[in-house]
């Protein structure tokens, strides 16, 4: 299942890159900044955002982050368990 998701994100990245490469030569700022050129610039920025999001997934940054957060959560649980054990040991001594 994971490789299918990566394949889809790779395909989406290639499609978005192709769209950007087709659109960039058609955007001309020689005539000044008008609504059409402004739309083209915003469209390209949005396409680059889509490319970046797909590359973020493909490079596995989310997976690394998830693993790091899981390690932190486990360490916190161990600390809480040690504190709990210390409290119960002290209360049983009374």
Domain match, 28 and 70 both: no
| Per-residue pLDDT band at 93 (split at 50, 70, 90) | low
Which pLDDT score is estimated for 25?
Answer: 86
pTM of the predicted structure, to 2 decimals: 0.60
The domain in which residue 30 lies consists of: 1-59
Domain match, 10 and 35 both: yes
User: What pLDDT digit, counting tens, does each position of 14-62 carry?
Assistant: 999 999 999 888 887 777 888 888 888 899 999 999 999 999 888 877 7
Domain match, 10 and 45 both: yes
> Could you give the number of structural domains in the chain?
2
| Per-residue pLDDT band at 76 (split at 50, 70, 90) | very high
| Per-residue pLDDT band at 10 (split at 50, 70, 90) | very high
Domain match, 51 and 66 both: no
Contacts 24+ apart (CB under 8 A), 56-60: 57/5, 57/6, 57/9, 58/6, 58/9, 58/10, 58/13
Domain match, 44 and 74 both: no
Contact 13, 58 (CB under 8 A): yes
């Amino acid at each position: 299942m994971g490789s299918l998701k990566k394949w889809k994100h790779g395909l989406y990245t290639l499609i978005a890159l192709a769209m950007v490469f087709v659109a960039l030569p058609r955007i001309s700022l020689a005539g000044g900044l008008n609504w059409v050129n402004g739309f083209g610039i915003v469209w390209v920025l949005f396409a680059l955002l889509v490319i970046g999001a797909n590359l973020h997934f493909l490079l596995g940054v989310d997976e690394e982050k998830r693993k790091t957060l899981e390690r932190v959560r486990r360490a916190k649980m161990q600390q809480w368990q040690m504190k709990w054990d210390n409290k119960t040991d002290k209360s049983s001594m009374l």
